[in-house]
Amino acid sequence: MRLESLLSVFCLLIFSGIGYSQELGLAVRGNEENGYFVQILNESEELIDSPGEFSLNLSNLDRSVRSSLENWKAASYKETEKGVVLERAHYLKDFDANLYLEVEYERVSATLIRKTFRISQNSIPNFYYSVDFTNVPSLSPREYVSFEHENFKGGMVHELYPSAGFITKENDVVGFLTDPGYKNNFTRTTRRRFSGRGGGMVGMRILPDAKLLSIASPEEQDNGKHYIKYTFGEALNLDHGESWELKVPDSYSKTGNVDLKQGDSLIEMSFPKGDKAGMEFMSGMEPQKIYSISFSAKGEMPLALKLYEYKDGIEGSELEHGIKYIDGFPLEKNSWQEFKASVMLSYTEAEDVKVFIGRTNGLRGSIDIKNLKIVEHKPYRLDYNKLPMGETVEKVTYVFIKPWDGQKDFKISSQVKLAEGMGFEGTEIEKMLYANFQMMTWVISVDDEKPFNVPNLNYSPDMYNRDSFWSVISTYNKDLNTSIWNQWTATQTPEGAIGTIITPYMGSVEAKDNEATIEWLIWGLLNKRRFGVELPKEKIQLAADYILNEFDENRDGKCASHFSMSQVDVMEYHPKTERMAANQGMFAVALKTIQALGLEIEKDYVMLAEQEYQNFYDEERKHLLFDTDYPDLISVTDLVPEFLSLWIFEKPMLTDEMVQNHLDQIPALNKVKNSSHPEIGTTAPIILRLTDDEKAYTYMDENYQPFGDFGANNYQDNSRDGYYYNGGSWLRAEYTAYAVGSWHGWKPAKKRMENRLWAEKNLNPNWPYSKEFIPTKWNSYDEWWPSTRGLSWNVFVLMANEFVGDRKPEMDPDFKKENQ
């Protein structure tokens, strides 16, 4: 390329507009001698600068040889129809290897640019590598913003959704996004289960991608250094590097009813029966740092450990990244058990971290602990992404610009722009659900690059079968569908059951008579139809035999199970129950799936199971009976099998009258004036009790609920009316029920669908994204459970919208890719 003599006074402007507006352009800077790089413009004004396109760290597989490229610039560039490509080849003397690097900028739209980094080598079986993309504002920004914080002060950004931006003096926000982890090879896992499935979650000793997204620290900003950076392929090893102990208090405060005795390193606690009790203290842990907490313990009951944000004398949220849900760390009475876990403190406005150690289970007994330590780490960093010989690896990031219109708008834009950058088409809420699903799908670990889908960060690191089923079948990505389906295939027991859960770093032996095996068969059928996948015949037959033998050993067409086959799974039944409509419906769908897979099964038997599903319709009450022992309960989940039958097999199992009458009795709650249809409510409870009074419904209580001890303990005193499975509104189940209603001619279906999508985005203005459930009875947003934020499986709305004719498969970029 021979433009270097001109580039000092001339830059190549691509797609710049006329007049002031938010419109991104690209300018190639540099020269042949010093290398070329791209500067991003807003119109003709410099917007994002950088000393280079990226910085790259490399090592061989025994990590004995290391090399790096700092602030890489290209040897040449070329214009494309949509942007520009930068290229350079390197000979790496330290490895005796050739390395080929390319960066492509593409203008997706006037306000959105995609940046693709490509790297390949043909010299060494494998490299480890990590890469930094540092985006420097051309002018000092007014402030930084992250997905969860309007004024982010700086440092690690480890939040619900990995996006961040800066606000310019002109009041524009410039946002940065990343492709999902299964494409860009990162994971957001920071913890694992205990061994033996006991106790909760503990922070890991090797933390991958802790600094996936970071913003210049306050100290750096004070020194005039500004940036937003993505780092891919970096892990932190807490057992290597530097560390030092924090001083823990000489004495501790009591909380609750506990007898507390302290020696030099021994702390003895004795509890009568009662509420949460134990010891607590201020730890001195600070944000943007990584710690370990460790001690030895013995006792007559499980130990609870909690870490809370603390500010202005008030205990705040429980910390997320590391220790979580530790209410039952198992102890032995006469031998010391060792506890050690990492704690990653990302951004928080708290003044300190309060530590609680004690009991939360109400039991009488004692707990002793000794050698309590809190250690601060400066961990050893290592590169873990792999670059195999002969393969090209990509990383994709995005930049967008728009007028700053507050935090809610930034959250929405971060989701919408990612979907658009990935080529997805649809309504705004469809784009948001698609992007949320993408961000909940990453790689398993530093040593396993297979894709992994979790429900949300609260459930991380676990992948649940039913969550990944509803999530992944909503995309036409062949590799994603087949890879995760194959992972579930590997959990099959000798009896044919498919596991319920896959959890990284630890094992799970949970395989039971719930809907997991049925969903795995359905998923296999979809993979065969959509992608022409050849299914493993022996495993398919084994699963079919398991379903037939486990759920209907008498071959009378009636489904019997120890567990619910709907998502309402808080009860276990001994002996097996035949009381549940959803179970019968899912069993009928399973038989239809077995039939569609070409396995031997009698048609009359399939029809018998369908008839038994119909028999759950009560002619007098005019609805399907969620549980025949509790005939006043009604649930939208009982229509999910009907949706699957219509969607997969294009045949109903229920009549129009049954479906219409059922839906007529499910109330629409949370009525809002500015909703799509303000005359009706925006959410419906997943399950509630019908009554004969004017209100026509009530929530469950300790006396009338089908969930045994769980219901008696959680639904007493009306304290959880409208929450979780006592009337919470779950989008996927509710929306598919309305889609069933639409097929069966239920007139309110369209309005109810539109209002429910409105609610997901707007009902809580602080949470404009997918949620596990929306409460149907609440007083303030502070009562909504933070653990529900960002649920993945609501993306199934896409398939429901296809089913009712509101979208087409071609709107999914992977469908177009598979069918080109």
Give tens-digit pLDDT for 223-269. Answer: 999 999 999 999 999 999 999 999 998 889 999 999 999 988 999 99
Its pTM stands at 0.96
pLDDT in tens, 620-647: 999 999 999 999 999 999 999 999 999 9
CA quadruple 790, 795, 796, 798: dihedral positive or negative? positive
**Measuring CA to CA, which residue among 469, 514, 517 is closest to residue 497?**
517
Cβ neighbours for 149, distance < 8 A, ≥ 6 positions apart: 159, 347, 407
In this structure, the chain runs to a length of: 820
Read off the pLDDT of residues 358-398 as tens digits, 9 standing for 90 and up: 999 999 999 999 999 999 999 999 999 999 999 999 999 99
pLDDT band of 335, cuts 50, 70, 90: very high
Average pLDDT of 325-343?
Answer: 94
In the predicted structure, residue 22 carries a pLDDT above the cut 70? yes
Q: Give mean pLDDT, residues 103-118.
A: 98
Per-residue pLDDT, 196 = 67
Measure the CA–CA gap between 456 and 450, rounded to whole angstroms.
18
Instruction: Enumerate the β-bridge partners of residue 25.
Output: 41
Band the pLDDT of 21: cuts 50, 70, 90: low
Q: What is the mean pLDDT of residues 81-103?
A: 97
Q: Tokens at residue 329, please? A: 């760390």
For the chain, give the percent of residues with pLDDT over 90. Answer: 91
Neighbours of 225 (CB within 10 A): 12
Secondary structure (DSSP) of 22-53: S-EEEEEEEETTTEEEEEEEETTEEEEE-SSS
> Average pLDDT for residues 797-803, to the nearest whole number?
98
Lowest mean pLDDT among 192-201, 322-331, 507-516: 192-201
**Token duo for residue 660:** 């219409």
Q: How confident is the model at residue 51 (pLDDT cuts 50, 70, 90)?
A: confident
CA distance 575 to 131: 56
Residue pair 508/493 in contact (Cβ under 8 Å)? The answer is no
Checking if the pLDDT of 20 tops 50, the result is: no
pLDDT (tens digit per residue) in 515-565:
999 999 999 999 999 999 999 999 999 999 999 999 999 999 999 999 999
Position 199 scores a pLDDT of 78
Q: pLDDT tens, 128-171?
A: 999 999 999 999 999 999 999 999 999 999 999 999 999 999 99
